[in-house]
Structure 1
Amino acid sequence: MTNVNEFMRSWLSHRKVLHQMLEEVSTEQLSLRPWEKAMSVSELAQHIAGAMGMFAETVKNGAFTPGAPAKEIATADELRAIVSAETEKAEATLRSLTEEQLSRSVDFFGRSVPGHTLLQEAKDHEIHHKGQLFVYLRQAGIEKLPFFVNHG
């Protein structure tokens, strides 16, 4: 990674889509699960929203830093607010990273990887789960969904 701002532009082009996807979600759809052991729409959206912050904190601290567990959400508006707050928090952490932190190796579940590589994997993780959420929302009957990336 040559520059945190460049990385953030790329990551945010995907995160914007998460926000757009959730605009179409109703409170009644939050508990949808495609199968019994799957995360619900609410849990998956929170997982996506909180993961980049967890990865960025891990890079910043040089050691695995667990994220917060999913919260019980009462309304779709509450979920959207949590996703917005997690996005802002992740942005702030990413902006605070130094070149040294991005270059330093971090032990992540038995693998030693440079911080910048871990952040790329975090973006891939988000894209993977965002794809799952697209399927969830189609199963929920939502027809109007955004393109998978938003460069605007």
Structure 2
Amino acid sequence: MTNTPVVEAAAAPTLVSVSPTHILAHWQGHRRLTRRVIEAFPESHLFSFSAAPPIRTFGELALELWGMTDYHLKGLTTDDWSWHPPDCSELNTRAALLAAWDAQTPQLESAFARVEPGWFTTAQDMAWGRFSPQQSVAYAVDNEIHHRGQGYVYLRALGIEPPAFYDYMVP
């Protein structure tokens, strides 16, 4: 008789559903932290400094994030997921960018309050493929985290201590 180990079949993974309310809270936490990174930039460097040209400035990256939120607001409220780049020409100062950023916060709250969970997980034709609104929002959050990380590098290159990366959990 040999000592052959018994290997049991692994159980099928359990699918966990995350409510739109929880996803919104997570995203808003990241948006609060990104806002603090925008605030940390000196006005003179937000739209002019790049730690590694030709990489975009953090101001340009933040405008992309603002535009992605604008895209999701339109999709979440109208179910129109076509892409039309927003006009950011007036958002060329830190104050203007922060004001536009802040205006999106209650708009997101209002949009998510009307989201039906079944619709949120149903595939739609998006600007970059077929995804559910939930998947698209997850991409927007991942993109924000990535660009905020670039902002941290830029701030450190400028000799500025960025906000703690885990502060997205702090309201």
- For the criterion TM > 0.5, the same-fold answer is yes
Say if 1:46 and 1:86 are closer, same or farther in 2 by CA, change over 3 A.
farther
| AA partner of residue 22 (structure 1) | I
Contact residue 13 and residue 150 of structure 1 kept, 8 A: yes
Unaligned runs of 5+ in 2: 1-16
1:5 aligned onto 2:42: no
| AA partner of residue 37 (structure 1) | P
What whole-Å deviation, never above 9, does each CA across 1:52-103 have from its counterpart, x for those lacking one?
3313433551532434143354532222212212333333323332224313
What whole-Å deviation, never above 9, does each CA across 1:22-74 have from its counterpart, x for those lacking one?
22222111221234433222211121233133134335515324341433545
1:88 aligned onto 2:137: no
Unaligned runs of 5+ in 1: none
| AA partner of residue 49 (structure 1) | W
Contact residue 42 and residue 73 of structure 1 kept, 8 A: no
**In 2: Cα distance, 1:110 partner to 1:22 partner:** 27
CA-based RMSD of the aligned residues comes to 2.4
**In 2: Cα distance, 1:39 partner to 1:101 partner:** 35
Higher-Rg structure is 2
SS at 1:107's partner residue?
strand
Aligned position for 1:128: 146
1:44 to 50, 61, 66: 61
Matches within 5 A, 1:59-138: 59-60=76-77, 61-109=79-127, 111-138=129-156
| AA partner of residue 124 (structure 1) | D
Aligned length: 152
The structure carrying a bigger helix percent of its residues is 1
Aligned position for 1:25: 41
Contact residue 155 and residue 162 of structure 2 kept, 8 A: no
Say if 1:92 and 1:105 are closer, same or farther in 2 by CA, change over 3 A.
same
**In 2: Cα distance, 1:70 partner to 1:38 partner:** 19
| AA partner of residue 41 (structure 2) | V
TM-score by length of 2: 0.73
